Amino acid sequence: MAKKELKLPKMGESVAEATITSWLKEVGDSIEADEAVLEIATDKVDSEVPSEYDGVLVEKLFEVDDVVKVGEVVAIIEVDGDGEDDDASDETETDVTAETKAAEEAASMVEESVNQAKTTADSASSYSDSKRFYSPLVKNIARQENVSPEELESIKGTGLDDRVTKDDILAYVKDKKDGASTSQKTRTETSLGETPSAPQAKASPAPKVNTPVNINAEDEVIEMSRMGKLISSHMIASTQTSAHVQSFIEVDVTNIWNWRNKHKNAFQKREGEKLTFTPIFMEAVAKTIKDFPKINISVDGDKIVMKKHINLGMAAALPDGNLIVPVIRDADQLNLLGMAKKVNDLAGRARNGKLKPDETQGGTYTVTNVGTFGSVMGTPIINQPQVGILALGAIRKVPAVIETPEGDFIGIRHKMFLSHSYDHRVVNGALGGQFIQRMKEYLENFDTERSI
């Protein structure tokens, strides 16, 4: 019998860790190759970790809610056969003494690896012992900065239901370090014979007022889902980070409406999928970003990061009412057919929970279609660390003034509103307004003779 390690697999370049949400197998259970052993979750995507071997689960090194880094051993599986353990030495030596030494070293390495994994699991689970909810990111920062569970309990949260946010724990760590630095500086000055000055009063933020919630006997209290809690935390963090400003513009999309009606049946017959308005809008967004690259940025402290790739996030509604944002990478490199297929693929797999973790990472600008639910316009919250998000309103038939060389007249047109939210720290009103004005031009001058 040989023991094999089950490691947290690599889930994409931007995914470094995941939270264990449930174990599908218990110690002693038989496992087949490619059978799921546990379920994990990153910020937005749930996934399963399958076994690479047929065997029996003999040890679990982490518990539910523990945060595990990519490449860490999460379980030990015992397999049939005389094969070597994963950590056994691969070298074969003819000298009996050398073989014994190598075997001892291999055994020591296995024991050290298991003990280290257990220590990590114990450390991670200590944060989970609290009745207070902490996000995987907060627990990870606490562990890296040596913040004890007792200290974490003492931090006043500014998130929903007094939840500790990323900013809260980073501020605590900074204050902790600054306090030590100030104390050392004061001792040095005193030793040189200088009289330390009286501490100046430091302005403190206004205390958070909790509005009491009255719960009646007939009311039902429902626990928020894990994704719901994450979305809530992200939205609050975004409003606390970015200075949100909105610009709105109305667009005549009659030509696009008629063009789609002309081609949609042939497209579905040929490609086996629907031709929606979304790829047309995404194509226009990508072209507009190329004209205004300062929308395709992120803020890093007091520095601006200009993104070289145009990766468009596409907000998609899930059956449970939550939203997920798959990313169309290098959207400016796709033609309309490629964009339509990419949009349909990501939207379909998002609804079925088949997205890979890396497919929701790395977006540089986001588009959300509030018109799906009949909304005429919206004020969407920026998807951090981006600096802009566009909401597409519902397309409506409205009476409009039509200008012609022979004079003006009233006609029925298909129109919609574009709602642009942007971060006023780095995007001023002129740039934010010019952006949707240029997109309006692209949409209203859509080539009705083009093929797909």
Nearest 5°: phi and psi at 355? -70, 145
* pLDDT score of 161: 61
Q: Mean pLDDT over all residues of the chain?
A: 83
Residue 348 tokens, joined: 């379909």
Question: What sign does the dihedral 36-39-42-44 (CA atoms) show?
Answer: positive
Closest to 417 measured CA to CA, from 380, 373, 371: 371
Is the pLDDT confidence value at 117 over 70? no
Quick check: 3 and 58 in contact, CB under 8 A?
A: yes
pLDDT digits (tens, 9 = 90+) for 329-379: 999 999 999 999 999 999 999 988 888 888 998 999 999 999 998 999 999
DSSP summary character for residue 437? H
Summarize the confidence of residues 285-312 as an average pLDDT: 96
Distances (CA, A) of 115 to 111, 362, 401: 6, 35, 76
* pLDDT score of 180: 55
Closest to 237 measured CA to CA, from 395, 442, 71, 384: 384
d(CA 213, CA 221): 11
Does an H or E element contain 104, and which? helix 96-128
Closest to 43 measured CA to CA, from 384, 423, 389: 384
Is the pLDDT confidence value at 52 over 60? yes
Quick check: 449 and 427 in contact, CB under 8 A?
A: no
Residue 300 tokens, joined: 């890093």
Residue 21 — very low, low, confident or very high, per pLDDT cuts 50/70/90?
A: confident
Residue 203 — very low, low, confident or very high, per pLDDT cuts 50/70/90?
A: very low
Residue written as tokens 């519902």? 394
Quick check: 147 and 173 in contact, CB under 8 A?
A: yes
Is the pLDDT confidence value at 110 over 80? no
Residue written as tokens 């992120």? 298
Residue 127 — very low, low, confident or very high, per pLDDT cuts 50/70/90?
A: low
Q: β-pairing, 365-368 with 55-60? A: unpaired
Closest to 61 measured CA to CA, from 120, 129, 126: 120
d(CA 336, CA 283): 7
* pLDDT score of 171: 86
pLDDT digits (tens, 9 = 90+) for 157-197: 876 567 788 788 888 888 887 775 544 444 444 444 444 44
- pTM of the predicted model as reported, rounded to 2 decimal places: 0.64
d(CA 397, CA 401): 13
Closest to 367 measured CA to CA, from 347, 348, 353: 347
Summarize the confidence of residues 147-158 as an average pLDDT: 82
Neighbouring CB atoms inside 10 A of 302's CB total 5
Q: Which of 206-220, 236-250, 265-279 has the lowest mean pLDDT?
A: 206-220
Alpha-carbon dihedral angle through residues 195, 199, 200, 204, given to the nearest 10 degrees:
170
* pLDDT score of 169: 86
Q: β-pairing, 312-314 with 365-368? A: parallel
Is the pLDDT confidence value at 269 over 90? yes
Direct distance between the N- and C-terminal alpha carbons of the chain, in angstroms, rounded to an integer: 59
Question: Is residue 407 classed exposed, middle or buried when 0-12, 13-18 and 19+ CB atoms within 10 A define those classes?
Answer: exposed
d(CA 296, CA 332): 12
Residue written as tokens 């760590």? 173
Nearest 5°: phi and psi at 15? -105, 115
Note if the bond before 405 is cis, omega within 30 degrees. no
pLDDT digits (tens, 9 = 90+) for 67-99: 888 889 999 999 886 666 665 444 444 444 455
d(CA 4, CA 450): 57
Look at phi and psi of residue 193 and say left if phi exceeds 0, alpha if psi is from -120 to 50, else beta: left
